[in-house]
Amino acid sequence: MAGLYVIIAGAGKVGWNLARELIEKGHEVTVIEQDRRRYLTVEQELEHAVQYGDSTELWVLERAGIQRADLVVAVTGDDEDNLLICQVAKEKYLCERIIARVNNPRNLEHFKLLGIQPAVSATDLILRLIEHEVPRYGLVHLLDLPEERLEIIELVVSEAAPAAGRLVFELDLPEGALVISVLRNGSGFVPKADTVVESGDEVLVVLDPGLEDAITAQFVGDGDEPA
């Protein structure tokens, strides 16, 4: 990944640090900041790599050279701005790669609706980490790629679950679901058809979207419904 030209909209903490890292890795970067005072602060370090202006305005993006950008990253504190910056980058200037920051995770659905992907929400990421540390619902999303229709979940097998004590090939899993890893006593292995699933195991399942409920029923099961 050498020699990309990256435009970053917003020189807040995220934008500034991102610019610093990318420049260090040898990429060419332009950061656009609309607050004059913030711009002057950042300019002391980044010099010509930061420009002053409102990056939702087309001429500002053009001045930054959006026509030749390989990647546009919109990380302002305003979700509408991030959404529209990415939308014009993608649809007007045909930029191949965009990344948008979502400040309020409730706005994620708007990014999806308008085809702005990937949209990254720090709040959402932290929520997932918390979910991972405290798997209250017995189910953790490890990977969600709705566009590619791919999902990987982690479940803890409960004692009363239909799957507990069964061989992998006996499991009553729907089409489109596969157990890809079992974590037992702190170490993981890839299960075979004759591996016995034990209660307390953490299993990783790759699945087509929409199969979660059927899978949860097998591994979490009766008498131990999610809280």
Partner 1 sequence: MFVLVVGAGRVGSSVATAALRAGHTVSVLDEDPLSHERLDVELGQSWEEAGGRFTIGTALEMDALTEAGIGEAEVFIASTNGDNTNLVVSQIAQRRFEVPKVIARVLDPRRAAWYSEQGVKTICPTQIAIEQLAAVALAED
Q: Which residues bind partner 1 (CB under 8 A)?
A: 56-59, 78-81, 83-84, 88, 91-92, 106-107, 109-110, 113-114
Q: Roughly what angle, to the nearest 10 degrees, separates helices 36-46 and 13-24?
A: 20
The C-alpha atoms of residue 95 and residue 8 are separated, in whole angstroms, by: 13
Pairing mode of beta strands 97-101, 50-52: unpaired
Element spanning 63, H or E: helix 58-63
Task: Find the shortest distance in angstroms from Cβ 64 to partner 1.
Answer: 15
CB closer to partner 1, 51 vs 56:
56
CB closer to partner 1, 88 vs 139:
88
Asked if residue 146 has a cis previous peptide bond (ω within 30° of 0), the answer is no
Q: Which DSSP symbol is given to 149?
A: T
CB closer to partner 1, 57 vs 131:
57
Pairing mode of beta strands 97-101, 71-74: parallel
Task: Find the shortest distance in angstroms from Cβ 121 to partner 1.
Answer: 14
Task: Find the shortest distance in angstroms from Cβ 58 to partner 1.
Answer: 5
The C-alpha atoms of residue 158 and residue 97 are separated, in whole angstroms, by: 42
Contact 47, 19 (CB under 8 A): no
Task: Find the shortest distance in angstroms from Cβ 87 to partner 1.
Answer: 8
CB closer to partner 1, 79 vs 154:
79
CB closer to partner 1, 109 vs 147:
109
Task: Find the shortest distance in angstroms from Cβ 62 to partner 1.
Answer: 10
